[in-house]
Amino acid sequence: MPVSNTLIADLTWYDFAEKVKANPIVFLPIGSVEQHGPHLPLSTDILLPQAIAAEVAERVGGLVAPPVAYGYKSQPKSGGGNHFPGTLSLDAGVLIGLVRNVVNELVRHGVRRIVLFDGHMENQWFLVEAADLALRDQAMLGRSDVKIIKLGYWEFITKTTEKVLFPDGFPSWELEHAAVMETSVMLHIRPDLVRSELIPDGPAADFPPYDIYPFDTRPIPPTGVLSSAGSASAEKGAAVLAQVVPDIADALIKAFDAPTA
Amino acid sequence: MPVSNTLIADLTWYDFAEKVKANPIVFLPIGSVEQHGPHLPLSTDILLPQAIAAEVAERVGGLVAPPVAYGYKSQPKSGGGNHFPGTLSLDAGVLIGLVRNVVNELVRHGVRRIVLFDGHMENQWFLVEAADLALRDQAMLGRSDVKIIKLGYWEFITKTTEKVLFPDGFPSWELEHAAVMETSVMLHIRPDLVRSELIPDGPAADFPPYDIYPFDTRPIPPTGVLSSAGSASAEKGAAVLAQVVPDIADALIKAFDAPTA
Amino acid sequence: MPVSNTLIADLTWYDFAEKVKANPIVFLPIGSVEQHGPHLPLSTDILLPQAIAAEVAERVGGLVAPPVAYGYKSQPKSGGGNHFPGTLSLDAGVLIGLVRNVVNELVRHGVRRIVLFDGHMENQWFLVEAADLALRDQAMLGRSDVKIIKLGYWEFITKTTEKVLFPDGFPSWELEHAAVMETSVMLHIRPDLVRSELIPDGPAADFPPYDIYPFDTRPIPPTGVLSSAGSASAEKGAAVLAQVVPDIADALIKAFDAPTA
Amino acid sequence: MPVSNTLIADLTWYDFAEKVKANPIVFLPIGSVEQHGPHLPLSTDILLPQAIAAEVAERVGGLVAPPVAYGYKSQPKSGGGNHFPGTLSLDAGVLIGLVRNVVNELVRHGVRRIVLFDGHMENQWFLVEAADLALRDQAMLGRSDVKIIKLGYWEFITKTTEKVLFPDGFPSWELEHAAVMETSVMLHIRPDLVRSELIPDGPAADFPPYDIYPFDTRPIPPTGVLSSAGSASAEKGAAVLAQVVPDIADALIKAFDAPTA
Amino acid sequence: MPVSNTLIADLTWYDFAEKVKANPIVFLPIGSVEQHGPHLPLSTDILLPQAIAAEVAERVGGLVAPPVAYGYKSQPKSGGGNHFPGTLSLDAGVLIGLVRNVVNELVRHGVRRIVLFDGHMENQWFLVEAADLALRDQAMLGRSDVKIIKLGYWEFITKTTEKVLFPDGFPSWELEHAAVMETSVMLHIRPDLVRSELIPDGPAADFPPYDIYPFDTRPIPPTGVLSSAGSASAEKGAAVLAQVVPDIADALIKAFDAPTA
Amino acid sequence: MPVSNTLIADLTWYDFAEKVKANPIVFLPIGSVEQHGPHLPLSTDILLPQAIAAEVAERVGGLVAPPVAYGYKSQPKSGGGNHFPGTLSLDAGVLIGLVRNVVNELVRHGVRRIVLFDGHMENQWFLVEAADLALRDQAMLGRSDVKIIKLGYWEFITKTTEKVLFPDGFPSWELEHAAVMETSVMLHIRPDLVRSELIPDGPAADFPPYDIYPFDTRPIPPTGVLSSAGSASAEKGAAVLAQVVPDIADALIKAFDAPTA
């Protein structure tokens, strides 16, 4: 296996120093350790953005930083809930601080274009805060030339790809937890980690229009899968990647040239 | 004007002590000071939940706590963005701490059923964290009988009401910033604060599937209104309240009896 | 009712942007949710500074920001104590962070003259810290032209007005909790919220020269009123406002021109 | 010099363990490093409470913990201001955390009666918060038998002693910074540290009824002494101690037996 | 490749729930992203503890949690220094909070025996604090049956193995940065990531007995390697693992049965 | 006793202002309140660095700031452990914040050369963080001319002095807790605080190569002394000071002229 050219983890500091000179886009994959039903591993939310970010990085000559493996607390409507065994989550303050620190460190070493590459829906607002605070830190240090993009790869899935994934109609990205899309991409990139024989089939979960703490577990499917993964396939997973990887790459290249507020 | 029976602000401590004995649902309205276009005041996001919470409280024999007037940083896709003049926002840690404090204080005085009644989309995940941390605090104090519900009133608007509001098709709740729904309810409850002659009309904003910091202001409508408010009316506002108030009241009564995880 | 010209809450962002150009003094009223005896509402400490700040703002062409409704923990000697029902208080760190955030946000939008307008004695040292930390934040951002004034409106009451309020002798501002001054001003500005028939009369509280935690409740009057409010009247309240409003206005205009350390 | 029986610093852990069995009152002196004019050392505010606490401890069979030498930021009206050279102050959060930690540690080793013995007026509200948070920590650990008293020794000075100190009339405790009382007690307990020949004489400072940040240095006497120390004497200092030491001792013994809220 | 039985990342939540019933020892590898000379990757400090922990876990029927990939700031004397390109480090508060969170989450799901498995010398004291605070959190939740062990695998290397590694004499573990031991183990477990042709040879660094900030870079070898790695070999690496893996396994089994303070 | 010329505590602000003009090295002694066996006082770890720092300051024309008397949590292997009675320790965050505050305050008043003079092994990494964060604060304020040195005086003891102290062989600095070196220096500088008749003699403690929380108390000597103090003498203490004082003075003078990273 050749040493990766895009993973910071695999580089020496000499390699890193050399590469940073070219002002690369640096990707920080951020995931979670979260239940993903009987068929997907607890690391699903970090494996997916790591894999996709690596492919995008390859295209744009970017680098992928070591991942933030732990994420924010799983919620019933988007992840089944934090009470499922093995779901190991961070407090908001810790997640914000961790991402803020890593961003500031990248900037300290010369990086100016950073992508917070999210694999876990519950992380998103805390990434917004981490980006905002890191930019404030940089402003206090007199630096105003840093740009940070935050994205969830699933938001780039087009209507066309949606139809490939869900020929019978799309539920919602929130209910897509451990369901067709995630299972398909895992079957494509890490089939060894999918227990295909345990892929559950069942109706989509139905939640009330509020959130209650402690959770009301009654509307949560006992498997933790929020809508059926029955129609998942490696082919569908390949189709997702074939579309989102170039689309994200294109979008980022344009975005980093955009004027700022 | 008779002294309100539901606003904690208007009660004496004797009144409060008496009312808490009945185990009331207590509502904490949480808003923002955020641009709402040329026609709505900066306080729109707190006026709406205050008004609606008061009506719901009336129905369920509940109480409304003094509002949290400041909220999380406005984002382009849901609020136009924090750079608009007059938008005064809190850091995540402050907002979380503030709501956590108020919840813990209510519990200290005997309240066991609390609703975080949100009027500002950007607040929502920080309210989740506040609820989680307050319940942890209570667990550390040996108390496990507290329930907290977090809701955005707009999530209770039914398809039927959506059709009243948007006979020509519904954009999305995120783009509904300072648009038909908010303007209509403001025309119903506080017409004195609406500059009707300045209600903007124009196409809905179109954002890329990522977020960039500092903001790219190009896709943000210069008015700060994310989709047309042209068809807003006090009648539509009345229709929203006529539907969501009883629906929220009913949902809460059921929800507070639900079993917990 | 015409839309206020001084309340930021009532302005649109266009209004705000326009007004900030004139370098207005911006007032942030800071209060508490605190017991005020059997006759005054829990919101007394925020209603008073809001009302007075609005009148001062009118005189100086200033603006009033949405209030900080919650304040620091009530103490026996100045507020009866945090254990009274309905007293909802913040931890020091949250109050400091909240005021610091709001000050920084005002500055971000161009405000350079800010008044922390306190209505609750227990807040004062935390406002000092908020002001100090906000100025440090601004220094880190390279900005040194901001001035912050912290005041309690009661500190502007002259000996002459004291004699109007207390013809038989003045106890002390600390014991003036829910007593003659506060009751009188409330009778003047919000008589609808005063239960006149419940105004207590009784000797002033007598405390030892130390503070004990948890509280010793024996020296605390059971009503929570620290000295008699029996002689309160709307006329006295009007006299207070007639004196302090112009005096505060004059003092602020002079103070914001003072040289700095 | 015999090893002190009251200073925890001088005890071995065997001594400490033995003494804690008797449930002693433990004193934590809290001061500041703050300008005290041309004649008193920067450590005045910690030397005084250490000395007085030691005498009180002797009387009540108590112990004195190592002092908290640094305190909150000096203010013009009570200490001349933080800008005076050599004034080394803590942020509120650090001071609160430090005192909270020490209190919790004392409790961990079996202490149940603690006195926060303040020598610096600016510290007081942060000591309130430290006490409150430490009691909350203890409640979370299931412990409810701890009592904390916070006091400033000067608050125990009686009218009679005031007349000894100020035969010509008493200004106010706030203006008593580096003035008659502090200078007198220093002349009594540490005459070696007083530059008697430099004791300033001059009119008391006159401040407006608000605080401004950054400071307006005009009303601050250039020496940092807020009212004349001209009439200070070791005899006056001895008189202060002769009165406050037994009075504080008596008050504490009674106070620690008081019922709690 | 069969799915791992010890990596939590690879398990489903059903697997995790099942395994936790046996009260397994759970290992949390904690590393850094730190320069390791011209020949080793930036991830060396996490690859080593992950690999070793996995082998130990295999022996004791334990589980390995997803790693904490980022660690504390590299110091000249033990890691060359934080200024080397690619060295991405966390503030103390973030690292402490992160490890404390993960420990608490493991405990929440039933884990009672946790090993903080450190691969980066600079982390150690912050792991002590994380362990202490997590145990305090658990005590506040009423739980006292958790044990946490913190270790650096290198501390288990015996004198015998030291002689295998350093036949000509052992410098010190601190100077063993990117040198013989680390290079040898990397050559054993991940030879694909070692640039053998770039292994530097040179005298050990010589530091003064103090630390200076900002760093004095003169005593730091420009390669970042603190002593010669010239004699490293895969065989030496295999010898290290052959010794430390069983020794750590044995020690842990005994340690988790030890009585507690 | 003449007023000290090096102790900031003893200076007036006029003195301080005058001395700072010469750009003095300022020493901040940092210790602990920690068990030191049956023969040494709980304040040993602050008395030693205070005394030594004062002598070094004398030589280099420096100043000694008031000490940080409380330190980080005692550990079995270096201090016996935090469970010993009278050991009063700080959380990491508080210690870091305290030292960071004091450093920043010294810099605010013009100090540019600061020594964190440690007397307690457990403090060291938190001092690293305090130094790093203070320099970051200064960078945010636009200041880059500050240097901070962190040292433990024992690290300057030469091999020659080691032989004077331990003619029969040196155990390790970690086991030197309350043993020959510390006892000897205390006998030299504060014999009044040493209970010579209680100096324990016994074998050095033997610890496993890991740390366990809560502590396993079995390997901890019940006296808290980690290796024999039997051969301690005032002469040895004098020898230590005679060597380290000039060596530290020389090293500091050179170090503060070193170039920076």
- Residue-wise pLDDT tens for chain B (261 aa)? 455 789 999 999 999 999 999 999 999 999 999 999 999 999 999 999 999 999 999 999 999 999 999 999 999 999 999 999 999 999 999 999 999 999 999 999 999 999 999 999 999 999 999 999 999 999 999 999 999 999 999 999 999 999 999 998 887 887 889 999 999 999 999 999 999 999 998 899 999 999 999 999 999 999 999 999 999 999 999 999 999 999 999 999 999 987 665
Token pair belonging to E71: 């660690």
Ranges of chain E with pLDDT below 50: 1
Of A239-248, B163-172, C18-27, F157-166, where does mean pLDDT reach its minimum? B163-172
Q: Which pTM was predicted?
A: 0.97
Token pair belonging to B87: 């938008």
Question: How high is the pLDDT of residue B1?
Answer: 44
Query: Coil, helix or strand for D37?
Result: coil
E90 touches chain A (CB under 8 A): yes
pLDDT tens track for C207-225: 999 999 999 999 999 999 9
Can you tell me the distance from the alpha carbon of E60 to that of D5, in angstroms, rounded to the nearest whole number?
53
- Collect all residues of chain B within an 8 Å Cβ-Cβ radius of residue A72: 125
> Are chains B and A touching, using the cut-off of 8 Å on CB pairs and a minimum of 3 such pairs?
yes
Determine whether the interchain pair A142/C140 forms a contact, defined as Cβ–Cβ distance below 8 Å. no
- Collect all residues of chain F within an 8 Å Cβ-Cβ radius of residue E138: none
Neighbours of F71 (CB within 10 A): 28
B143 touches chain E (CB under 8 A): no
- The helix or strand, by DSSP H or E, that contains position F95, with its residue range, turns out to be helix F92-108
Can you tell me the distance from the alpha carbon of D118 to that of D68, in angstroms, rounded to the nearest whole number?
10
Report the Cα B196 to chain-centroid distance in Å.
22
pLDDT tens track for F69-86: 999 999 999 999 999 999
Determine whether the interchain pair A142/C142 forms a contact, defined as Cβ–Cβ distance below 8 Å. yes
Nearest residue in F to D47, CA atom: F9
The alpha carbon of residue E120 is apart from the nearest alpha carbon of chain B, in Å, by: 30
Catalytic residue among D39, D55, D120, D188: D120
Residues 6+ apart with CB under 8 A from E5: none
Nearest CA to D45 out of D85, D74, D12 is that of D74
Query: Coil, helix or strand for E62?
Result: coil
C216 touches chain D (CB under 8 A): yes
Active-site residue, D235 included: no
Active-site residue, C122 included: yes
Report the Cα B224 to chain-centroid distance in Å.
19
C125 touches chain D (CB under 8 A): yes
The alpha carbon of residue E36 is apart from the nearest alpha carbon of chain F, in Å, by: 18
Q: Which of D209, D212, D261 sits opposite C155 (nearest CB)?
A: D209
**Residue B172 burial (10 A CB sphere; 0-12, 13-18, 19+):** exposed
Beta strands C63-64 and B25-30, pairing class: unpaired
Active-site residue, D122 included: yes
Question: How high is the pLDDT of residue E105?
Answer: 98
Q: Which of B9, B193, B198 sits opposite C43 (nearest CB)?
A: B9
Can you tell me the distance from the alpha carbon of D68 to that of D29, in angstroms, rounded to the nearest whole number?
6
Nearest CA to B6 out of B42, B52, B53, B58 is that of B58
Active-site residue, B83 included: no
C144 touches chain A (CB under 8 A): no
pLDDT tens track for F90-127: 999 999 999 999 999 999 999 999 999 999 999 999 99
CA dihedral A166, A170, A172, A174 (to 10 degrees): -20
Report the Cα B152 to chain-centroid distance in Å.
6
Query: Coil, helix or strand for F60?
Result: helix
- The helix or strand, by DSSP H or E, that contains position E72, with its residue range, turns out to be strand E71-72
The alpha carbon of residue D3 is apart from the nearest alpha carbon of chain C, in Å, by: 31
- 3-state SS of chain C is CCCCCCEHHHCCHHHHHHHHCCCCEEEEEECCECCECECECCCHHHHHHHHHHHHHHHHHCCEECCCECCEECCCHHHHCCCCCCCCEEECHHHHHHHHHHHHHHHHHCCCCEEEEEECCHHHHHHHHHHHHHHHHHHHHCCCCCCEEEEEEHHHHCCHHHHHHHCCCCCCCCCCCCCCHHHHHHHHHHCHHHCCHHHCCCCCCCCCCCCEEECCCCCCCCCCCCCCCCCCCCHHHHHHHHHHHHHHHHHHHHHHCCCCCC
- Mean confidence (pLDDT) of chain D: 95
User: What CATH architecture does domain F8-209+216-257 belong to?
Assistant: 3-Layer(aba) Sandwich (3.40)
The alpha carbon of residue A137 is apart from the nearest alpha carbon of chain F, in Å, by: 8
Can you tell me the distance from the alpha carbon of E241 to that of E185, in angstroms, rounded to the nearest whole number?
8
Of A3-12, C146-155, E221-230, where does mean pLDDT reach its minimum? A3-12
pLDDT tens track for F44-78: 999 999 999 999 999 999 999 999 999 999 999 99
Residues of F annotated catalytic, as ranges: 34, 36, 45, 120, 122, 177, 182
pLDDT tens track for B122-161: 999 999 999 999 999 999 999 999 999 999 999 999 999 9
Give the distance between the most distant pair of CA atoms in chain F.
Answer: 56
A214 touches chain B (CB under 8 A): yes
Q: Give residue limits of the domains in chain E.
A: 8-209+216-257
- Amino acid identity, position B105: E
> Are chains B and F touching, using the cut-off of 8 Å on CB pairs and a minimum of 3 such pairs?
no
Question: How high is the pLDDT of residue C1?
Answer: 44
Question: How high is the pLDDT of residue D171?
Answer: 79
Mean pLDDT across D12-25: 98
Can you tell me the distance from the alpha carbon of F217 to that of F224, in angstroms, rounded to the nearest whole number?
10
Strand order in the sheet with D211-213: C63-64, C25-30, C113-118, C147-152, D211-213
CB burial string A164-203: b at 16+ within 10 A, e below: bbbeeebbeeebbbbbbbbbbbbbbbbeebbeeeebbeee
Helix axes A124-140, B124-140, angle to 10 degrees: 100
Contact between residue A153 and residue A117 where contact means Cβ atoms under 8 Å apart: yes
Active-site residue, B45 included: yes
Report the Cα E247 to chain-centroid distance in Å.
16
- The helix or strand, by DSSP H or E, that contains position B212, with its residue range, turns out to be strand B211-213
Can you tell me the distance from the alpha carbon of D96 to that of D94, in angstroms, rounded to the nearest whole number?
5
Catalytic residue among C34, C55, C118, C176: C34
Can you tell me the distance from the alpha carbon of F25 to that of B89, in angstroms, rounded to the nearest whole number?
43
Q: State whether the Cα torsion D233-D238-D241-D243 is positive or negative.
A: negative
Determine whether the interchain pair F9/D90 forms a contact, defined as Cβ–Cβ distance below 8 Å. no
Question: How high is the pLDDT of residue B260?
Answer: 60
Of A34-43, A47-56, A169-178, C136-145, where does mean pLDDT reach its minimum? A169-178
Can you tell me the distance from the alpha carbon of A182 to that of D129, in angstroms, rounded to the nearest whole number?
49
Question: How high is the pLDDT of residue E3?
Answer: 57
Residues 6+ apart with CB under 8 A from C229: C37, C39, C178, C179, C180, C182, C183, C199, C200, C201
Determine whether the interchain pair A140/F142 forms a contact, defined as Cβ–Cβ distance below 8 Å. no
Catalytic residue among B55, B118, B122, B176: B122
pLDDT tens track for D227-261: 999 999 999 999 999 999 999 999 999 999 876 65
Question: How high is the pLDDT of residue A176?
Answer: 86
Mean pLDDT across C236-245: 98
F261 touches chain A (CB under 8 A): no
Can you tell me the distance from the alpha carbon of E33 to that of A28, in angstroms, rounded to the nearest whole number?
13
Catalytic residue among C39, C45, C176, C188: C45
Question: How high is the pLDDT of residue E173?
Answer: 82
The alpha carbon of residue A92 is apart from the nearest alpha carbon of chain C, in Å, by: 16
Mean pLDDT across D70-97: 97
Contact between residue B99 and residue B60 where contact means Cβ atoms under 8 Å apart: no
Neighbours of C61 (CB within 10 A): 14
Can you tell me the distance from the alpha carbon of D238 to that of D231, in angstroms, rounded to the nearest whole number?
14
The alpha carbon of residue E132 is apart from the nearest alpha carbon of chain F, in Å, by: 7
For chain D, what is the total number of helices (H) and then of strands (E)?
8, 7
Q: How far is CA B91 from CA A96, C113, C258, in A?
A: 11, 22, 32
Catalytic residue among C39, C122, C176, C188: C122
φ, ψ for residue C26, nearest 5 deg: -110, 130
DSSP secondary structure of chain A: -PPPSSBGGGS-HHHHHHHHTT--EEEEEE--B--BTTTB-TTHHHHHHHHHHHHHHHHHT-EEPPPB--EEPP-HHHHS-TTSTT-BEE-HHHHHHHHHHHHHHHHHTT--EEEEEE--GGGHHHHHHHHHHHHHHHHHTT----EEEEEEGGGG--HHHHHHH-TT----TTT-TTSHHHHHHHHHH-GGG--GGG----PPP---SSEEES---TTS-TTS-SS--TT--HHHHHHHHHHHHHHHHHHHHHHTTS---
Question: How high is the pLDDT of residue C261?
Answer: 54
E partners (3+ CB pairs within 8 A) are A, B, D, F
Can you tell me the distance from the alpha carbon of C210 to that of D69, in angstroms, rounded to the nearest whole number?
21
pLDDT tens track for A139-165: 999 999 999 999 999 999 999 999 999
Q: How far is CA D37 from CA A247, C84, D63, D181, D220, in A?
A: 69, 43, 31, 14, 12
- Collect all residues of chain F within an 8 Å Cβ-Cβ radius of residue A140: 140
Determine whether the interchain pair C92/D92 forms a contact, defined as Cβ–Cβ distance below 8 Å. yes
Residues 6+ apart with CB under 8 A from C193: B3, B10, C40, C41, C43, C47, C186
D43 touches chain F (CB under 8 A): yes
Contact between residue E98 and residue A70 where contact means Cβ atoms under 8 Å apart: yes
Question: How high is the pLDDT of residue F173?
Answer: 81
Question: How high is the pLDDT of residue B24?
Answer: 98
